[in-house]
Amino acid sequence: MKIERYIDHTILKPDATNVEIKKYCTEAKENHFYSVCVNGSNVVLVANELLGSDVKVTAVVGFPLGAATKETKAFETKNAIENGANEIDMVINVGALKEGNSNYVLEDIKAVVEAAKGRAIVKVIIETALLTNEEKLIACNLSKEAGADFVKTSTGFSSGGATVEDVRLMKEVVGDALEVKASGGIRDYATAMAMIEAGATRLGCSASVNIVKGLKTNNEGY
């Protein structure tokens, strides 16, 4: 198994510079990671840096709070795709989910799916650390109903990241209809493998190079 092909090499910190982002792109090409995941303003830079390689471009939408309107998220999605993004990682409106407004969340996800249709993969970040198990089930089912491609555990910017239990639960809900991306706090090979064994087919990591080398890191964040 080539663990590198599970990895979205991720740099989403607010103070990321062009020099750092280019370094991530170089690392992604050298290690053949699946994609480089960045904020929307960095998509053009990353697309240019990865041109001609086997590494895709992932852009986050509604990040990290998920509290933008569906229209804003749809525009972000279209803009990111026009700038070179192949995949979209969108954050749901967590507050709407928690107050039981499932229709709002469904329409929120649908807006992004429709904006990306035929042009980019859509991953739905449900922010598991803020949800009960019942809410996680609802979020996964809404993502499936909306036509998304993946459900994803976390932004990496909330109170917690991916857990094996959450990945397993999400995979049980979506089955073969959707894939599962684990993200947040995956900093070593053992943790990465545990997520894959639980059902994740993609990993969001910033410590990606150490992971593929089997090294441990104390890096915080994504």
Which residues are identified as catalytic? Answer: 89, 152, 181
Name which of 165, 156, 157, 160 is nearest 203 in CA terms: 156
Contact (CB, 8 A) for 129 and 155: no
Q: Beta strands 35-38 and 87-91: pairing type?
A: unpaired
- Whether the bond between 64 and the residue before it is cis, its omega within 30 degrees of 0, is yes
Element (H, E) at 220: none
Q: Burial, 99: exposed, middle or buried (Cβ in 10 Å; 0-12, 13-18, 19+)?
A: exposed
How many C-beta neighbours within 10 Å does residue 1 have? 7
For residue 2 the two structure tokens come to 């080539």
* Chain length of the chain: 222
How many C-beta neighbours within 10 Å does residue 181 have? 29
Instruction: In whole angstroms, give the CA distance from residue 186 to residue 194.
Output: 10
